[in-house]
Structure 1
Amino acid sequence: MNGALTHVVVRDHPWTDPLAVAAGIGGTDGALALLSDGGPGGRWSHVATAPDRVHVGGVEADLFDPLRDPAWSAGTVGLAAYDAGARPATGERPLVWPDLILARYPAMLSFDHHQRRVRAVGRGATAAQAEAAAEQASQWRAAAVTPATPDAPAETFTAEAPDQAYRDCVAEVVARIAAGELFQANIARAWGGALKPKADPFDVFLRLQQGRASPYGAFWRIGDRALVSNSPELFLALDGETRRIEARPIKGTRARSADPLEDAALAAALQASAKDRAENLMIVDLMRNDLARASRVGSVAVERLFAIESHPTVHHLVSAVVGRAEPGVTPADLLEATFPPGSITGAPKHQAMKVIAEYEPPRGAWCGSLFILEDGGGLTASVLIRTAAFERRDECWTFRTLAGAGIVADSDPQSELAETETKIAALRQALTGQQSVQAICVTSRGFR
C-alpha cells in the first residue's frame, strides 16, 4: 500500500473532543495528535495512528524533494528541522535531528471546531482500502477517554548555559547590528533533561493541553523520537482550491497577568511598543519577500498588522501576510521558497542564520516546521516554537527545548533574557511542575 492513495472515503460523525480521542490512542509509536484550541486562529484538529509509509532522513540534499513523490499525498505529516533550512548559510553542522521526517496516514479523524463535526477520512489505492481506512478511523471515536492530568514527568530541567552567557550574546549581537552587519537576529537559549523512568512524552502533551492549549498543539512519535509542541504560530497555510497563501509571523511578547486591568494594560503596551512594532515589521517585510517567490506578481499583501493575540500565558504581536500561489506551485515549492520561517531567523535572513550559528549549537526540530498535506494540494504548517524534542535512549526519554528573542538595535540583554523565561514557562511547568526560575535552579487557524 505504498503507492499513491487515489481513493478517498469520508464519513461524518457527531462531535467528539479530539483530546479525548488522542488520550484514548495514547503515545504509542506512530501516534499523531495535531490539536487546535478551537479559537479564531485554529479551526481543525487531527488525530491518527498507524502510518503506512514512513521516511526518516539524515541529511537531505534537497530538503523538500521527497514531497514531490506522488505517494506523499494528502494525509501526510512532515517535520522539517531548522538546521536543514539554515545549512546554505551555516554550512555543515552536527546532525542532532533528521532533516526531514514524513509519515502518511491512510486513516485519520479530522475535527472541525467551528462547525462541531468530525470527519473520518479513509484513503487507499483502491476503493475497498479507502473504505476500510474510513471504518478504522471511525472506530477510534469509541476509544475516547476523559484525559487525566499526569504527574510532572521530568527528572531534570537544566539550562545548557548560564544566564550571563545569554546576556553577553545579546550584547554582542546588538553591537553587530550597530555596526551594520544585520538588522535583527533571533537568539535562543536551550534547556534539557530526562523524564522519570515510567514517564512518557505524551504525559507532557496532556499537561500542556489542559489549561494551556494553543492553535497548533501537537504530539507526534515516530520510533524513538517524539515531538511535543504548544505552538501559537502559523508558518504557512495554502488553500488547495483558492490558491491563497497566508503566513502569520509573531514578533513581540508580554507575559499575562491574573489581574484583568493589568493584563489589558500589558496587551496595550505591547501593541504600542515602538521596539516590538519595528521588530514585527522587519519580519513582515521578510515574509513578503519569501512569499513573493511562490506567488503571482502583485498578489502579496499585508492583511493584518500588529494585532494582539492572547494565549494562556502570553500576549503576542501578530501580523498576517497573504499571497496567491502561482499556477503549478506545490506545497514542496512553497516550503522550499520560505523555509526556515523568517520570524525565528531575522533580517537579512541569510546573514541572521549565519550569526545564529555562531552563538547557538544546532537547533534540531525546534523552530523548524510541522506540516500536514491536505486535499487539493493544500498545506498547513506551524512554526515549532514552544516545542520540546524527545529521544529514547536505553528506555529513558531525554528532551531538549529552546526559547528565543528577536534582538534588534535597542534590545536590552536583561529584558531579552526575561522574555525567554516568559516563553519557556508553560513547557517548564508541564515538564517539572515548577513555575518559577528559582525553583528550577534548586534542582540544578489550526491544522486544517
Structure 2
Amino acid sequence: MKIAQPHSVCVQSLEYSADLSLTYFSHLQHLPWAMLLRSAAQGHPNNRFDILVANPIATLVTHAATTQITISSDAGNPIYSSQDPFELLAHYQDLLLPSLAPIDDIPFIGGALGYFSYDLGRQVETMPTTASADIPTADMAVGLYEWALVVDHQLQRAYLVGQNLPQYQQWLENQKCLYQQQVDINESFRLKSDWSSNMTKSEYGQKFSLIKEYLAAGDCYQINLAQRFNAAYQGSEWQAYQALETSNHAPFSAFIRTDEIAVLSISPERFLSLENQPCVASVGPLSVDPLTTDCKPSTKRVIETKPIKGTRPRSLDPIEDAQLAQQLQRAQKDQAENLMIVDLLRNDIGRVAKPGSVTVPALFEVESFPAVHHLVSTIRAQLDDNQTPSSLLRACFPGGSITGAPKIRAMQIIEELEPHRRNIYCGSIGYISRCGNMDSNITIRTLIAYQQHLYAWAGGGIVADSEMEAEYQETLDKVSRILPILSKV
C-alpha cells in the first residue's frame, strides 16, 4: 500500500462567479464519486462556501457491518473490514491524507467528503430490524480527496486547493471535453408517475395514536414520525437538483453521486461543524469564555450545532407571513420541543467536549426559508484534545433533532412504526478537512434517486400535546417546495 506523505497545499485562485461551482460540476455530475456541497441561501448567515470534489484517491463504503475500502494506488483491490466505520474513516484519512495546517478562509483543503445514512446509527446502537430495507444501498459512502474547488460567496473568491493540482487541472479539462461529446448525458428529467406515500393519512393517524400511548407511558418525551414519498422518473438527476435548489435556496444543499445512487439535498439544517479558531486570552475573570480556556497555545476546536424543531408554513401575504413567524417564536409547545432536543444534543456533545465548555448562545431563533419558518437554537462547545472529528460525529449520530428523546428509545419506536428504513433521510452529508475542520448537514429535505425511482421523506416531532391534523399537515408543508416542483420540471 502506498502511504501519502505530508506535503504543502497548493492554492490557485480562480475568477469568482456565483455559479462557478455549478458550471464546473455540470461537467462532472454524471461521474461516480463526484460531489458538490452548495450554500444556496442568499442572505442567510450560512451562505458562504461551495465545495466541489471528484476523482477520490480512496473510497469507504459501508453495508451493514462491513466496510469496503478501495484505494486507487492499490489497483482497486478492495479491503473489507468489520471495524467501526467511524474509526475506519479516521484511520484511512490519517494514513492517506495526513493532517496539514489550516489556510485562512478555506475550510476544506482536501480530506473526506460523503454521506452517513440514518441507518449507520445501527453501528453505534443496537436496534431492532422490523422496518423493510427496500433500498439496499450503502449506510456510509465517503471519498478521500486530494483536491477541491472552493467558492467563497462572502469574499467573492474561488480557488482550486490541494495536492497535485496540475494533474487535477488537466483531468478537469479532459472531463469537460468528454462531457461535451456525450449529448445524451443531459436527457431531460421528468416524473413518470405521481407521487405516492408509504402510509395513508388514516395509517399516519393510527401511528400517531400509538406514539401518544408511548408518550403517556413515559417511554419518551418526543418521537419523530416520518412518511416516505416515491415516484418513478427518467432523465437527469442533476437537472432535478438544480430545479429544487432554485426553488428552495437552502444553506446546506448537496448533490452526491456514487456507484449506487444520486443524492439530492436541499437541507436547511446544520448538524455539526468543527472549526479551528485562534485562542483569545482573557483579560480578567469577567471575560473568561469557556471556549478559550485550557486550550492549546494558538487554536481551539469549536463545535457548533443548530438543531431545528418547530415549523410554520410561509404565506404569500407579508403581514400574515410575519404573524406566522411571530406565532412560531412565541409558541410554548414548539419551544418545549426545541428545548428537549437542545438538552439531548448538549449531552451528546458533552461526551467528547472539554468539561464545562458546552454553551447555548441562542435559543428559539426564527429562520425563514421559501416553504416554511423554522425555530432554531445554537449549541457550542470545545472538542476535547484527545477526540477527533470522527469521534465527535459518532458521539452525536444520528442527530437528535430527527429522532426524539430519549434518542435510543425513540429510534426503536421509529423502527417499529415506520414501514421502511430511513436510509439517508435524517442522516448527514459533510466533510472532514485535512486541517481538522468539519461541517455537515442533517439530511432532511433530501431525496434519493435509485433504480429510476425518487424517494423523499418528511416528518416531525410529536409530543404529548401534539394534534394529529396539525402534525400531518406539517409533513406536507415540508415537501411543498419539493414534490410539486419536480412534478413540473
Within the candidate set 382, 398, 418, 1:324 is matched to: 382
1:137, distance to aligned residue in structure 2 (A):
6.0
SS for the counterpart of 1:365 is coil
* 1:141-171 Cα deviation digits (max 9, x unpaired): 99999xx996644533211111111122112
Identity of aligned residues (%): 34
1:162 matched to 2:200: yes
Q: Comparing 44-53 with 413-422, which one deviates more in the overlay?
A: 44-53
- Write the letter of the residue equivalent to 2:354: R
Q: Comparing 148-157 with 136-145, which one deviates more in the overlay?
A: 136-145
1:6, distance to aligned residue in structure 2 (A):
3.0
Q: Partner of 1:389 in structure 2?
A: 448
- Write the letter of the residue equivalent to 1:432: S
Within the candidate set 376, 401, 407, 2:462 is matched to: 407
Q: Partner of 2:4 in structure 1?
A: 4
CA contact (8 A) 1:153 1:431 kept: yes
Q: Partner of 2:114 in structure 1?
A: 78
CA contact (8 A) 2:59 2:144 kept: yes
1:310-389 matches, within 5 Å, as: 310-360=368-418, 361-389=420-448
Q: Partner of 1:49 in structure 2?
A: 54
1:381, distance to aligned residue in structure 2 (A):
1.0
**5+ residue gaps in structure 1?**
124-128, 435-448
Within the candidate set 137, 142, 151, 1:97 is matched to: 137
Q: State how many pairs are aligned.
A: 421
CA contact (8 A) 2:189 2:233 kept: no
SS for the counterpart of 2:425 is coil
* 1:156-191 Cα deviation digits (max 9, x unpaired): 321111111112211221222122111001110011
**5+ residue gaps in structure 2?**
66-81, 98-109, 181-185, 278-299
- Write the letter of the residue equivalent to 2:45: P
Distance 2:52 2:340 in 1: 36
1:91, distance to aligned residue in structure 2 (A):
3.3
- Write the letter of the residue equivalent to 1:22: F
Distance 1:423 1:86 in 2: 27
CA contact (8 A) 1:10 1:134 kept: no
Q: Partner of 2:24 in structure 1?
A: 21
Within the candidate set 280, 300, 307, 1:249 is matched to: 307
1:34 matched to 2:37: yes
TM-score by length of 2: 0.81
Q: Partner of 2:71 in structure 1?
A: none
TM-score by length of 1: 0.88
Cα gap change, 1:249 to 1:140, in 2 (>3 Å): farther
Cα gap change, 1:219 to 1:320, in 2 (>3 Å): same
Distance 1:279 1:345 in 2: 12
Within the candidate set 252, 256, 281, 1:216 is matched to: 252
CA contact (8 A) 1:57 1:100 kept: yes
Distance 2:479 2:378 in 1: 24
Distance 1:142 1:256 in 2: 44
1:133 matched to 2:187: no
CA contact (8 A) 2:189 2:236 kept: no
Distance 1:155 1:72 in 2: 45
Q: Comparing 18-27 with 282-291, which one deviates more in the overlay?
A: 18-27
SS for the counterpart of 2:479 is helix
Q: Partner of 1:234 in structure 2?
A: 270
* 1:69-101 Cα deviation digits (max 9, x unpaired): 224644321211111214624234665332211
Distance 2:226 2:308 in 1: 15
CA contact (8 A) 2:137 2:260 kept: no
1:178 matched to 2:216: yes
SS for the counterpart of 1:367 is coil
